[in-house]
A and B are shown apart, each in its own frame.
Chain A
């Protein structure tokens, strides 16, 4: 277990007993907001089932429901007032309800549609960004946390289940 990650986070990254999947989201052109897609790109080819929703999480709903996951671990940049790169399991009721418009559908709304359609358990893992300014590349601390998450997932999924 990486010392950058709490036991709670590491547990949330372990495979579920059934068909769990990891869902990431974010914008790679807004610096640390791209941490989710970065993690997804690094985990492609591993035995972890991973879907990157990018900027349009509403567009992956039917695909995810079709996979009938028993657990869905959402990894996304989240401003919870922590230190840059801090990784936390965030209770669903604390995910901000941003104003719904035709322009933006909040992530917790997307996961509710999926969990109501599948009864899947949903776990949110938030990574505190240092910057979400326009630009590419993660900040040093967020990069380190991303690497810790990637290694934890790779190790957890390499073990016989």
Chain B
């Protein structure tokens, strides 16, 4: 018999920020299926107009407490592109290390604290504190280790201080490299049981073919910090032309804009990167993917979490590589730069436009600045990964709901919530977002 279903989740938990899921099925026909984003816009782009590009990263990193390093790096990249500054190899390697720690930190918390409870059949990670105390402590211990490395590298756990346009105000000394490497080896020890645990988790079965978008390059490196924009549909454009990829548009039920590229929607994030750049993952990360049965092209969005696990291994191993290389070559301390607001003209400035495109934990992040001849920002645009995924989540929901109509309202609600959580959305960052409203089925 055709059913009427009303799902109305007016506060989705275990995501960052606020959003609602609304599903309305009438006489067995899907009439409404929306992800309402109800966060207020943040106006960061307006805030940095008239400010110096040399302070923009300190402001824009406040868009997000988890992706603060990613925003810092995208902001710096946009600024350096705008004024024509080319960072040194040492600077880029240290920036990659910083980004690796952020990916690892964010992915670990998402896998352990936000997704694992669903897969272990509990409402939140709080019951796991008693049933899996060591597991919860391991998750938080790994998070702390990533934070501690950031502290050593850029002066703070979050919101980097020493990472600036031009390089770093303070560079790690020999003892700092030793301290970071020691922490990385401890992380390596905690990664083994993490992989073992994740391999036991059973993800829901669902597939929808979509376009996956991430940074790509022609080299051998898994691109996180640099590259062109590429897609599984064959798109490849320079980052400066990102607007031709994102094609933002407004929908009435969301304070965050939606995006689409070659087809109705696209996905960014760990699964997109995995699908596009699998061959460039560290061999140990590829081995983990094989162990859990993943091979591109993976079309199950729930496996974004599994792709995050694979990336954890990659980021950790590549971080160790970077550290070992620095141990051999040493750090060129003379590259430290004190720029301030560039009052002394330490870095030559010119008018221009620059785009930063960085793969942060939830996907590709764009910062686009136009600066005047004094280095003041006259125009800015930031496009956050969660915003790019919203349209794709809705299309997933529209395909999935008719496939699971025979299930109870509770089961449908849970599957929808798990779907949204699999994308690891950062809603307040995108509003530029979770509650589920079933309206009739």
Q: Which of A56, A101, A113, A116 has the largest count of B CB atoms less than 10 A from its CB?
A: A101
A-contact bits for B126-158, CB 8 A (1 contact / 0 none)? 100110010011001101100100000000010
Closest to B126 in A: A109
| A59 contacts the other chain (CB 8 A) | yes
Are B66 and A113 touching (Cβ within 8 A)?
A: no
Closest to A54 in B: B157
Q: Which residues of A contact B133 (CB under 8 A)?
A: 113, 116-117
Are B157 and A59 touching (Cβ within 8 A)?
A: yes
Shortest distance between the CB of B402 and any CB in chain A (Å): 30
| A102 contacts the other chain (CB 8 A) | yes
Q: Which residues of B contact A113 (CB under 8 A)?
A: 129, 133, 136-137, 140
Interface residues of A in 108-139 (CB under 8 A from B): 109, 112-113, 116-117
- Chain A residue total in the interface (Cβ 8 A): 17
- Chain B residue total in the interface (Cβ 8 A): 30
B-contact bits for A57-74, CB 8 A (1 contact / 0 none)? 011011001000000000
Closest to B125 in A: A100
Once bound together, how far apart are the Cα atoms of A99 and B435, in whole Å?
12
- Do A102 and B110 contact each other (CB < 8 Å), given the known contacts A59-B157, A62-B141, A113-B140? yes
| B13 contacts the other chain (CB 8 A) | yes
| A103 contacts the other chain (CB 8 A) | yes
Are A100 and B14 touching (Cβ within 8 A)?
A: yes
Closest to A110 in B: B140
Interface residues of B in 99-119 (CB under 8 A from A): 106, 109-110, 113-114
When the two chains form the complex, which single residue of A59, A65, A112, A116 contacts B144, counting CB atoms closer than 8 Å?
A59
Closest to B434 in A: A99
Secondary structure call for the A interface: helix
Are A100 and B147 touching (Cβ within 8 A)?
A: no
Once bound together, how far apart are the Cα atoms of A58 and B139, in whole Å?
10
Are A116 and B130 touching (Cβ within 8 A)?
A: yes
Are B140 and A61 touching (Cβ within 8 A)?
A: yes
Are B114 and A100 touching (Cβ within 8 A)?
A: yes
Once bound together, how far apart are the Cα atoms of A59 and B148, in whole Å?
9
Once bound together, how far apart are the Cα atoms of A38 and B16, in whole Å?
29
Are B66 and A56 touching (Cβ within 8 A)?
A: no
Once bound together, how far apart are the Cα atoms of A105 and B143, in whole Å?
12
| B73 contacts the other chain (CB 8 A) | no
When the two chains form the complex, which single residue of A62, A99, A102 contacts B66, counting CB atoms closer than 8 Å?
A102
Interface residues of B in 5-47 (CB under 8 A from A): 11, 13-17
Shortest distance between the CB of A76 and any CB in chain B (Å): 19
Once bound together, how far apart are the Cα atoms of A105 and B65, in whole Å?
13
Closest to B145 in A: A59
| B4 contacts the other chain (CB 8 A) | no
Interface residues of A in 78-110 (CB under 8 A from B): 99-103, 105, 109
Are B126 and A112 touching (Cβ within 8 A)?
A: yes
- Do A100 and B13 contact each other (CB < 8 Å), given the known contacts A58-B144, A59-B144? yes
Q: Which residues of B contact A102 (CB under 8 A)?
A: 16, 66, 106, 109-110, 113-114, 424, 426
| B124 contacts the other chain (CB 8 A) | yes
Q: Which of A61, A99, A105 has the largest count of B CB atoms less than 10 A from its CB?
A: A99
Closest to B14 in A: A100
Q: Which residues of B contact A65 (CB under 8 A)?
A: 137
Q: Which residues of A contact B130 (CB under 8 A)?
A: 116
Q: Which residues of B contact A62 (CB under 8 A)?
A: 137, 141, 144
Are A56 and B157 touching (Cβ within 8 A)?
A: yes
Shortest distance between the CB of B386 and any CB in chain A (Å): 12
Once bound together, how far apart are the Cα atoms of A19 and B266, in whole Å?
55
Shortest distance between the CB of B128 and any CB in chain A (Å): 10
When the two chains form the complex, which single residue of B16, B141, B147 contacts A103, counting CB atoms closer than 8 Å?
B16
Are A59 and B147 touching (Cβ within 8 A)?
A: yes
Shortest distance between the CB of B429 and any CB in chain A (Å): 9
Interface residues of A in 30-80 (CB under 8 A from B): 56, 58-59, 61-62, 65
When the two chains form the complex, which single residue of A101, A105, A109 contacts B16, counting CB atoms closer than 8 Å?
A101
A-contact bits for B46-76, CB 8 A (1 contact / 0 none)? 0000000000000000001110000000000
Which A positions have Cβ atoms within 8 angstroms of B? 56, 58-59, 61-62, 65, 99-103, 105, 109, 112-113, 116-117
Task: Give me 29 A-to-B residue pairs in the complex whose CB atoms sit less than 8 angstroms apart, sorted by A's number.
Answer: A56-B147, A56-B157, A58-B143, A59-B140, A59-B143, A59-B144, A59-B147, A59-B157, A61-B140, A62-B137, A62-B144, A65-B137, A99-B11, A100-B13, A100-B113, A100-B124, A101-B14, A101-B15, A101-B16, A101-B17, A102-B66, A103-B66, A103-B426, A109-B129, A112-B126, A113-B136, A116-B133, A117-B133, A117-B137
Which B positions have Cβ atoms within 8 angstroms of A? 11, 13-17, 64-66, 106, 109-110, 113-114, 124-126, 129-130, 133, 136-137, 140-141, 143-144, 147, 157, 424, 426
Closest 6 CB pairs of A and B: A101-B16, A102-B109, A59-B144, A58-B140, A103-B16, A112-B129
